[in-house]
Amino acid sequence: MLEAIALLAFVMALAAFLGGRRTAERLEGEIESLKTEIARLAREGAAAPAEDLASATPPEIDVTAAAESEAKADGPWARARQDARAAADEARGTAQSAPPDEEIAAPATPFAAAEPTESLESRIGGRWPVWVGGLALALGGYFLVQYSIEAGLLSPAVRLMLAAVFGFVLAIAGEVIRRRAVPAIADRYRNAMIPGVLTAAGAVTLFGVVYAAYGIYDFIGTGSAFVLLALVSLATVGLSLLHGQALAGLGLLASLLTPLFVSSGEPRPWVLFGFLAVAWLATLAASRLRRWTVVPTLANAGLGLWGLAYVALAAPFEAPPVTFALLVMIAGVALIWPGRARTDEASGTTAAAMDATAPGAWESLFKPPHAGIAISAALVTTALALLFISPAVDAARFPVSEFAIVIAALAAAGSLRATAVYPALLAGFGAIAGTWSLTALSGVLAYLDPSFADLPPQIVVPGRTAMLTAMTLSALFVLLGAFVLARRRAGGRQFAALWAGMAAVVPNALLAMSFVMTGNFAFDLPHGLAAFAGGLFLLGLVEWLYRRSAGAGNTDVDGGLLALGSFGLFVIGLHAWTDGLVTTLAIALLGAGYSFATRLRSWPVLPWVTVAGGVVVLARIAWEPTIVGPSSLGTTPVFNGLLPGYGIPALLLVASAYFLRAWPDLRVRNLLQALASLFVLLTLAMLVRHAMNRGVLDSSVPTLGEQAIYTLLAIGASGIFMTLDGRSPSPVFRYGGMALGVLSMLSVLGAHLVGLNPYFSGELLGSVPFFDLLLIGYLLPAIGYFGLAWYARGRRPQPYVVALAVSGAILAFTWATLSVRRFWQGQNVADWKGFLQGETYTYSVVWLVLGVLLLVAGSRLDAKSIRIASAVLVFVAVLKVFLVDMSNLEGFLRALSFIGLGAVLIGIGLFYQRILSGSAGSGGQRA
């Protein structure tokens, strides 16, 4: 049964081959006739003048008749002929309308673009027999060998010899057919070529012969088997240049399986990765000649899988052989394929798409031609380099140098051209992630977390080694950034900007991690030198870029990124060489220095660096609010470490904002003004808190007196901002002042009335009446809100002005109410004391008097908002009299309460009647 199947398969393959050859010969004739006809029509269209073509009726009639006659013919190319006729007619029309100097070139494009449509017959008849035929040949050879074994007809040596002869015959047959095949067939059926299928079947047969001789019959040793299998796989890759990408994939697969099939008891990583590197390089060279993209991507993945398997499973592993293979891969991708290729024939991406002036230039940068090859190689390289220094693997010696070499090579490859954007990005990521691993294993984390002390000793990196690695990689990225910027072209502006950002970000990240994890916080000479040297180099590079551009304005992005990077490195250097108050002041001076440098250089980024300096100082304040440390902060009010620590940065920011008052960029001016205002308020608030808490700054809840000072500062700052906005209109002054006012009003509701209210907290008011805690906590803020509301009329929106007036009225009401309670209860007005009858009656009197006073003030100032507050207060007093006094008061006090309320209400009514009568017909009232 098996013999019949094998014979039938062979007959089917032979019939498919003969039928395919006849079809190819027929198609060859049709193609040649079609080419001749198209060439003739092109010559006629190019030679005829435009005015003669309009009257050339006989040729058009002939062409139409020919098209109609050929449309009746059967075959896969009938439709193609009709398309060619239509293209010729279109070419004639184009030639009639084209200018005289374009008449000859115009018809070329339509003819070149015309592609025949493949029929169903061509698809099935041209491909299916080839695939089935190749499978039949492979099965036939297998069944034949199986039959010879079962029947015992031949010895093992003879079987292997015959199988080898069969493999060579298939390969030779494939080459013979390829030489006789028609080029048009190869172009149309490039994924189902008969020569390629035969050659692939022969290669698989030879591969199986060598493996059987080694693994089944023990005819050859390990070394011979490895060499023979390598030769078969490399020869297959070489023949793929003649037979297509599929055969190259087969040769690549054979190369990757060779070390797996042939293994020895003693591992030889240099032999393994040397062979894999040679096989990878051969595959890449073939792909470069034929412009293949799938096979080299698979080759990168295969090499990466072998490296991952070796590093993860070998204990301990040797890093140099893997490093050698990775360097070969990096060099091949950078120099061979895709190398300098900038045109992708499949997608149509050209060098013009990389032009920075074209729309979507950044999108084109991240969609380079042949991106799959570069991305796969960069991913494999970065992953293995990080795996070298991972605590999860066991190395013969800790491969720090191999990690640095691989990352450096990948970064160098990423700096060669704009199409290598992904290797550049992955190199930066690998450098940062690897440095984090090195510094985390340097012993510092073992001090912070005892669980890290259980790691095996061989993976612990000395702090000096981690530091030198971080510094070396930092210097490398700075130099590579300078290299890219030095050879920047018009079509690579985005790539240059990308490398400028990497030259700024990566060194900052590496040196910061190294200093934090391995440095000496008191004084660290190496980190300081490295940081200051890098910062000065970046500043020099910015100066060189602007001098080279000569004011062209196309280096603002590059120069801005580098200037910010220099500031970051200077900040690291200051942290390495200074401490405490000196560091804070030095950073503030450094940031302001960039703004003052605008007198010498008009770089747009300089004020933004000052903003960055303010942000860094804020971060230091958030980390250590005392600036000098709690133990070193004195208790003397105002004149202590807080005054220079907060005051000098505030003055520098104010000076910078004033210095740049005419700077053309409004955004940075507003930011500087906002930062300056924030630092001034922060300075005052911290000095007040220090004085109110006897020199102690902690997270405890402030007292009512301290909170009142904050509220008064916010009210005063809001008024100052309003004045500044009137003299120099600015959204910072306008919206910043309003924001401060809103925040202060929220603090009134949250702190003054509830959280820090002496009635709830039980805080003592003081021994001196009137000049007590109620004065600073309620009356002074109430006066401040009334004054701010009066000052804001006509300058700020009406709802904001009304809210200020209402806040003042609420504080005045609270002050009056708590003052009554102090009169009856003393300096402790806590709620647990209850209420006296005289106290309850006094509340009604005071509330009514206060309502009348507010009514008079609203009338005199013609302020409707104050009169509304008066009405609300009187209404509250009425409710209190009817709901509280009626039940709590007795005898004379109850009667007096209602009599007084009635008299006051009648007087208010008469007062309103006079106001309304006097203002009848007027143009309205003010708020």
Q: Say if CB 814 and CB 752 are below 8 A apart.
A: yes
Within a 10 A sphere around the Cβ of 926, how many other Cβ atoms?
12
Q: Please, what are the averages of pLDDT over each run of 10 residues along the chain (927 residues)?
A: 40 48 62 76 59 43 42 42 49 44 38 45 50 62 61 73 79 74 48 66 77 78 81 83 79 84 76 91 91 93 95 91 96 92 45 45 86 95 94 85 96 93 96 91 56 51 89 97 83 87 97 92 94 97 89 78 97 95 96 95 94 93 88 87 94 94 88 86 84 74 81 84 78 83 84 87 84 87 88 87 87 89 87 76 80 78 71 78 67 69 71 60 49
Give pLDDT, residue 61. 40
Give pLDDT, residue 203. 79
The enclosing H or E element of 549 equals helix 525-549
The enclosing H or E element of 119 equals none
Gap between the Cα atoms of 198 and 767, Å rounded: 110
Give pLDDT, residue 327. 97
Q: Say if CB 461 and CB 444 are below 8 A apart.
A: no
* Cross-strand bridge partners of residue 317: 395
Within a 10 A sphere around the Cβ of 436, how many other Cβ atoms?
18
Give pLDDT, residue 28. 67
For residue 359, cis peptide bond before it (omega within 30 degrees of 0): no
pTM given for the model: 0.71
Give pLDDT, residue 492. 78
Gap between the Cα atoms of 263 and 269, Å rounded: 11
The enclosing H or E element of 548 equals helix 525-549
Give pLDDT, residue 409. 97
Residue 526: closest CA among 460, 587, 572? 572
Give pLDDT, residue 76. 40
Q: Residue ranges of the alpha helices (H) in 624-665?
A: 642-659
Give pLDDT, residue 603. 92
Q: Would you call 914 exposed, middle or buried from its count of C-beta atoms within 10 A (0-12, 13-18, 19+)?
A: exposed
Q: Residue 349: helix, strand or coil by DSSP?
A: strand
* Cross-strand bridge partners of residue 863: 926
